[in-house]
Structure 1
């Protein structure tokens, strides 16, 4: 188990922010988990430590948001995400973490700026199998290496303008499924070492606490502010990822 106090200075807030985000804001700021932990350890190790904790967060989130979610979006996104995960596993050795950060960061910034510049009364976009499959595959691919599937998923879901509870539930179900799928390739490439798993266990108590805090905050925010906060988080994620990639 990692015993360096500096690691936990970064890891504790990273896990809490991720859990709060997953519990109430569709996983928006959850993408900061790996970059924050990667300040003190390798990004690959940070991703391996975080994955079991993410699965625990997903379990709590599924219980809190049970029987909700947009079925049409999920049946479009999840098969495509599985393909994206497979591509991520097969090309893992060819892409650096910085390549993934540049791709995801650019997507996040473009879509958040588009939201703030477009008219406030823009009608919701209709559901689309084509768009959903594209963004679902990209979310699976980017999620595999650095758990950065949030912006591609948001790029599809946010323009639908779902009720905030349905948006959060759909996001939780989506990430619960793809995180469970990722366990297999992570195990096959040797990411689940004893040190990584024991460190995950030490941080696991923060997962349900953060998700429940996120759920409580979610219930106190109306739809307008929910989307404003979600897009603001999307923009901040994009800046953070591009900064990490280039500097």
Structure 2
């Protein structure tokens, strides 16, 4: 049950601003931290249901600032892969209980941190040459799946996108367009799975200004702020929330 009390909004409002900031300016890689944080205080399915319409609102707000900066061919490949990934996520979700998803979201959270730290330290090396197009479809499928179960499509998408060595703004624009489409794909199965309720709708209305504020901050920060401090905070947050979710799911 979702209770819209002071405690919920004290947790949800900063998380939603953070999601908008990440999605609006930093490739959406860390935006799923908001779902991880919310899953600490409400059932994971409801957490995902609260966040999705807000992410879609951020998508709509950030399409215009990055309009035309994306690579249509690259985006089309990943969007084509994203649809079966979303379908796979929906099938798994309908057959799995909440504790499994607490553990899964926690593992994805910790995996994201390990992947990013590994890249920064040189332990994980991405392809020096652009990966072939079929890899774009496969990573799109993985991104669709992880996006469905935890709004965490950014890391798998980045594997292919970063191999193409785009500029910062092209990379950001590609993620905006790709996840706009994937989030639209997710909406109908989320509705059929009962992840939207009257309470989640009321929460969306109350949290919408925070999402838009975060998106505005993200677009501004994209051109002004280095990513290092932002992602350091993200990693700390994800380690804490991921560990707590795994503990809750297993115990």
TM-score range, shorter chain: 0.7 to 0.9
Q: Is the 8 A contact 1:55 1:176 kept in 2?
A: yes
Q: Which residue of 1 aligns with 2:46?
A: 45
Deviates more, 1:101-110 or 1:38-47: 101-110
Q: Which residue of 2 aligns with 1:140?
A: 144
Q: Is the 8 A contact 1:28 1:230 kept in 2?
A: no
Secondary structure in 2 matching 1:171: helix
Aligned equivalents of 1:60, 1:233: Cα separation in 2? 24
2:129 maps to 1:125: yes
Q: Which residue of 2 aligns with 1:89?
A: 90
Query: 1:209: how far off?
Result: 1.4
Aligned equivalents of 1:110, 1:156: Cα separation in 2? 18
2:188 maps to 1:160: no
Aligned equivalents of 1:163, 1:47: Cα separation in 2? 31
Q: Is the 8 A contact 2:23 2:215 kept in 1?
A: yes
For structure 1, the residue ranges without an aligned partner over 5 or more in a row are: none
Secondary structure in 2 matching 1:23: helix
Provide the aligned length of Structure 1 versus Structure 2. Answer: 242
2:243 maps to 1:239: no
For structure 2, the residue ranges without an aligned partner over 5 or more in a row are: none
Q: Is the 8 A contact 2:44 2:102 kept in 1?
A: no
Aligned equivalents of 1:237, 1:132: Cα separation in 2? 29
C-alpha distance 42-244 of structure 1, shift in aligned 2 (>3 A): same
C-alpha distance 165-155 of structure 1, shift in aligned 2 (>3 A): same
C-alpha distance 229-155 of structure 1, shift in aligned 2 (>3 A): farther
Q: Which residue of 1 aligns with 2:185?
A: 181
Q: Which residue of 2 aligns with 1:69?
A: 70
Q: Which residue of 2 aligns with 1:16?
A: 17
CA distances 1:65-88 after superposition (whole Å, capped 9, x unpaired) = 111112232122111111000011
C-alpha distance 234-73 of structure 1, shift in aligned 2 (>3 A): farther
2:194 maps to 1:190: yes
Summarize the alignment of residues 92-107 of structure 1 with structure 2, pairs less than 5 Å apart. 92-95=93-96, 96-101=100-105, 104-105=108-109, 107=111
Q: Which residue of 2 aligns with 1:25?
A: 26
Query: 1:218: how far off?
Result: 0.7
Deviates more, 1:6-15 or 1:156-165: 156-165
Deviates more, 1:7-16 or 1:144-153: 144-153
Deviates more, 1:65-74 or 1:76-85: 65-74
Q: Is the 8 A contact 1:80 1:137 kept in 2?
A: yes
TM-score between the two structures when normalised by the length of structure 1: 0.87
Secondary structure in 2 matching 1:205: helix
C-alpha distance 85-208 of structure 1, shift in aligned 2 (>3 A): same
Secondary structure in 2 matching 1:30: coil
